[in-house]
């Protein structure tokens, strides 16, 4: 017990760090938004006719994107949701550069009733998996 009393702040820092490491995983499960690796995304595209939605900015998209990806920057997503209504019956794989902006977009789309999946690692992971990119 004296160890805990003498090292209270050290223990609190360790507990806080552990919580911060597991929080992203917990929040994704609670939100109901799934994550897919690049290979899983390819399967969804090929087997389930998933739509790929790229939420990066225009210059990032022009530098290289997943083939046949639909482009709506995250800053415009809320005002352009109507463009995606016809895809409500299909899964949507959302990507950005690393997966952070697309996670935010997934939250918006999920609340609007879409079946969404965040591409874990974004276009960086896609390229590292040696998957095709269009320019």
Domain assignment present for residue 134? The answer is no
- Among the listed residues 92, 93, 96, 105, the single catalytic one is 96
Note whether 84 and 96 are same-domain residues: yes
In angstroms, the Cα distances linking 46 to 28, 51, 124, 128 are 25, 10, 21, 20
Note whether 3 and 53 are same-domain residues: no
Active site residue 96: yes
Structural domain including 16 reads 1-31
**Residue 54, beta-bridge partner list:** 71, 95
Using one digit for the tens of pLDDT, what is the confidence trace for 67-108?
999 999 999 999 999 999 999 999 999 999 999 999 999 999
Domain count, the chain: 2
Note whether 115 and 92 are same-domain residues: yes
Note whether 37 and 7 are same-domain residues: no
Whole-model pTM above 0.75?
Answer: yes
């Amino acid at each position: 017990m004296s160890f805990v009393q003498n090292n209270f702040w050290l223990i609190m820092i360790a507990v806080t760090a552990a919580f911060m490491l597991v929080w992203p995983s917990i929040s994704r499960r609670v939100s109901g938004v799934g994550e897919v690796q690049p290979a899983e995304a390819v399967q969804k595209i090929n087997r389930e006719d998933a739509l790929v939605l790229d939420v990066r900015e225009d210059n990032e998209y022009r530098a290289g994107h997943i083939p046949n990806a639909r482009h709506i920057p995250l800053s415009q997503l809320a005002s352009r949701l109507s463009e995606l209504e016809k895809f409500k019956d299909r899964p949507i794989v959302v990507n950005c550069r690393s997966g952070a902006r697309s996670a935010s977009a997934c939250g918006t789309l999920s609340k609007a009733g879409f079946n969404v999946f965040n591409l874990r690692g974004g276009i960086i992971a896609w390229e590292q998996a040696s998957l095709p990119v269009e320019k």
